[in-house]
């Protein structure tokens, strides 16, 4: 059976809901499409979160991120959508999503969105 992109996010019960701990995930193969030029945009999507009752299931996350491959979207919009969708799915205590987009036209773009909004904790590269 072939696997296909999906917008469906799945969760599972947090094995230690009484404890604050951080989960970090990276997808270095994220792609979407520039809405103006139709050219592909490549990025690393980094997700840090402290779960509450639910955790994000990784295969579902991979298929969800894959669903953006042919979508025309601005960097700012896609990072905020990913955050909104993940927060809706698992209701974490806190979460930060970073889109680190490859250079296009001589400009390197990094977009950071956090939940709750007052807690912006950028995820830095080892080079920063």
Q: Which of 110, 101, 29 is closest to 69 using CA atoms? A: 29
Give the whole-angstrom CA distance, residue 61 versus residue 43: 15
Give the whole-angstrom CA distance, residue 106 versus residue 108: 7
20 is catalytic: no
52 is catalytic: no
CA angle, 56 then 76 then 47, to 5°? 25
Catalytic residue among 41, 55, 90, 100: 41
Q: SS in 3 state form for 24-77?
A: EEEEEEEEEECCCCCCEEEEEEEEEEECCCEEECHHHHHHHHHCCCCCECCHHH
Q: Which residues are catalytic?
A: 34, 41
């Amino acid at each position: 059976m072939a696997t296909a992109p999906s917008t469906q996010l799945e969760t599972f019960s947090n094995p230690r809901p009484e404890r604050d701990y951080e989960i970090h995930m990276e997808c270095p193969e994220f792609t979407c499409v520039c809405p103006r030029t139709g050219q592909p945009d490549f990025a690393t999507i980094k997700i840090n979160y402290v779960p509450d009752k639910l955790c994000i299931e990784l295969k579902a996350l991979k298929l969800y991120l894959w669903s953006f491959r042919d979508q025309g979207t601005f960097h700012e919009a896609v990072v905020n959508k990913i955050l909104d969708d993940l927060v809706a799915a698992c209701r974490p205590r806190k979460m930060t999503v970073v889109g680190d987009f490859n250079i296009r036209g001589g400009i390197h773009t990094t977009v950071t969105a956090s939940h709750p909004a007052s807690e912006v904790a950028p995820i830095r590269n080892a080079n920063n």
